[in-house]
Amino acid sequence: MNAHIALITGSAKGLGKRTALALAEQGCDIALNYVHSEKEARELQARIQHTGVRCIAVQGDVSRHDEIERLVGTVQRELGRIDILVNNAGPFIRERKLFSEYSRQEILSLIEGNLVGTMLLDHLVLEGMRRQSWGRIIHFGFGHASESRAWPHRAVYAAAKTGLVSFTKTLAVEEAPHGITVNMVCPGDIRGDNKEKSIAEVSGMQDGETPRGRPGSGEDVARVIAFLCHKASDFITGNIMDISGGLDPIRPLIPSKAIGARKEE
């Protein structure tokens, strides 16, 4: 087999970008994916191609079924197949809202983009992976997702990702006989530019929230994904891995005063 071919969704920026660079460094040919960030995707494509591996950039929204099929079809046509699928993309609403305050469209978008889209992508690549008896599928979650705890103001996102936890474990069992591993990485609260930084770049910074004492970086996450995608990592499957520096980001309580204030509004 030639170099492995990796599709990373949402990879023009942030953690997806750092993952694409890590897998390219490992010798993989890369399929980048973006929705609106074409400029960033093209710049990253050129950077990766300069390292000597093949790289394409394909537009596609993972919350839209037709675009998912087009994305996979384009990658398979231009690069030949998909050996590694990293499901990084997924919508997230930063505004803190109770479930009752979400619109119907927001609920559907979060579920489609974080759960259904991921499942459909996996479904589309399984046949090719089974045919060659080798594949790596990576899902993205959040810290402590495997515990299915209450996460006020993030009800829909949390429901989608905790559903993905069960799916990760189930798919791992079903596909193990075919040489396909399925795992989930759960980044901690890695913010802003730190998503694209190396460990060395953040090592001198202070973060009072994480027990480790420093903020997380994109490299912290990408190096775990690169390890899981290695040929010799075939015994590691069905795992939900927190990459958080020991931070517990979930505060499962809503102060009674906040609830009272909402009732008075």
- Please state the domain count of the chain: 1
Q: What are phi and psi of 84, to 5 degrees?
A: -130, 130
Q: Which pLDDT tens digit goes with each residue over 38-49?
A: 999 999 999 999
CATH of the domain at 127: 3.40.50.720
**Per-residue pLDDT at 218:** 84
Q: Report whether pLDDT(164) > 80.
A: yes
Q: Report whether pLDDT(122) > 90.
A: yes
8 Å CB contact between 214 and 205: yes
DSSP 3-state of 57: strand
pLDDT band at 79 (very low <50, low <70, confident <90, very high): very high
Higher pLDDT, 228 or 197: 228
Residue 134's domain comprises: 5-264
Q: Which pLDDT tens digit goes with each residue over 206-253?
A: 876 777 778 778 898 999 999 999 999 999 999 999 998 887 767 666
Tokens 């970008």 -> residue: 17
What would you measure as the largest C-alpha separation in the chain, in angstroms?
65
Rounded Cα gap, residues 143 and 90, in angstroms: 16
Per-chain mean pLDDT for the chain: 91
Mean pLDDT of 195-210: 80
